[in-house]
Chains A and B, each alone.
Chain A
């Protein structure tokens, strides 16, 4: 959805936008430099953005470098994702209050709708939010915590001009350009430094109306097209998605799973940086006196041994089974379960894997020695 014609905002206008949102009571979350990485934090103005920084990413590698310009969004995605804001890593669901004997009553946690604005959201991240919406809003149960954070969520997205060496959003059809899904979508342009801005909702239009913007011309639009074409060319990775669902589910016993299991540490990093991973567990604790018992929910990972624990033991006790579960879930069974791929091509799992396992490489290896084809031709994979 695109409303009205695109406009141009200056860096100062962007600062005013952040100030306006804060005055309206929004907590504005966006990228900032901390501990040698670009992470999400609350922003007070453009001064908090990673001005003049870029990132160099690859399998198991992430480094920040200085750019030779003052770009505010001249990097790809870091380890944080919107998921952290929508379903925090740990949150309380309810408290059981003991009656001092053998009884208790339950006090539910109140989930107050949040006034949250996410700034600098990329195409892959908008897609990730849509993926999680299907899990938490459109399934059996409308999750109360997710809903409280999601219902008034304001999205100020930024088209990706500097994809990293781990990125493959172009393969997954989620970027680098953005086609709706945000209240405002910015494209950063240079000489002069400006932002081509499109409203994607009436709230976005209302926000633009409060800013001192100028109209965008055909040259600005052309520059955007040029930048997005160039960005799509710069993807560090590629994933061939042809027949991907059946390829993976037809190769559940492929020797590549043993190969990757030799390298995978089952450390859970990939699932914690993934913007679509939604798995959680429940944690029960009590106060020191035992007067209250707490039910908390926290992020969990299918790489944890206890994740599949049942009476007779863990269903997926080997690392092979756990990597296979993660990879086939992301790229295949997610489609059966939720009608969409669970991978948006952001590349975080590649960058933040301590041993540099690359999902695109693993899939390519399986495709190159497709056991289904071997079965048909009688050759061994």
Chain B
């Protein structure tokens, strides 16, 4: 299959992709793997697509698969609205529409020669997963690779197969925690941001990629700053309502920025203060 390396697909027209597999991640989250009917389009870790379900509508969804293999594209989706519920009940072979990739990716190159610290809360592991896969594929370019994962409960953990593989891999230092445990859970309990003070990495020479609920990202940034990490090496990815993906619908504004155009990945100094204003 041809892979086209293009700038972001600046179009409002969707392109047909065929559902290959639907993998249940948790009781309300699936990962949908899709293949393009025509050529595949290269993407960078942290970018998102607008995914269309025939006759139902469209949703903005981060790409959760390996950027080295854009011919098999994955999106990891929690059922919360019309479109995401429909996506949770897709059958293999169904055609869905995709436009993208959109948005500013994670600045992975900035982490080269440094420690890479990835912090994910809940389904927030999905948008950072492509960055982790890309980093592990060129492991020698980074010093430590650290992953902190939190979820509400063990049953809310996504990508458990990956977590098992990575836990056994000396190339990556994985720490998993849950807010509240259940019988049989022998891992750590507590919010993910509590892990930050004790995990080994060099805060003065590290880059952090953070994705999760906004309150979790605020605490994560505070924890990283408290350890001495320069604020401009902390990166978060934000979520707002999105309708166009190309900077013209106005929905994804956060004060002076448009997430689809200027984000969704931001350095902390760009959005930290904005994120502390309620209902902005």
Contacts and interface: CB of A to CB of B under 8 A. Distances in A.
Interface stretch (B134-142, B196-204, B250-258): B250-258
Interface in A60-115: 93-94, 96, 98, 102-106, 108
B272 interface: no
A300 B249 contact: yes
25 contacts: A93-B13, A102-B94, A108-B13, A135-B247, A139-B247, A140-B8, A140-B246, A141-B11, A142-B10, A278-B248, A280-B248, A293-B55, A297-B12, A300-B250, A307-B251, A308-B240, A310-B241, A316-B279, A318-B279, A325-B253, A329-B253, A333-B255, A337-B253, A337-B256, A337-B258
B239 A310 contact: yes
A293 B54 contact: yes
A252 B253 contact: no
Contact of B13 (A106, A252, A290): A106
A311 interface: yes
Given A104-B16, A105-B16, A337-B258, A136 B248 contact: yes
Report the 6 A-B pairs with minimum CB-CB distance, sorted nearest first: A336-B256, A279-B250, A321-B279, A141-B246, A293-B55, A286-B55
B184 interface: no
B280 interface: yes
B199 to A, nearest CB: 28
A106 B81 contact: no
Category for how many chain A residues contact B: 35 or more
Interface string B49-64: 0001011111000000
Interface residues of B, number: 45
B188 interface: no
A309 interface: yes
A143 B258 CA distance: 17
Interface string A258-293: 000000000000000000001111101110001001
A300 B14 CA distance: 21
B183 to A, nearest CB: 29
Contacts of B253: 325, 329, 333, 337
Contacts of B13: 93-94, 106, 108
Contacts of B10: 140-142
A106 B280 contact: no
A286 B255 CA distance: 35
A302 interface: yes
A249 interface: yes
Contacts of B279: 315-318, 320-321
B175 interface: no
B150 interface: no
Interface string B5-25: 000101111111010000000
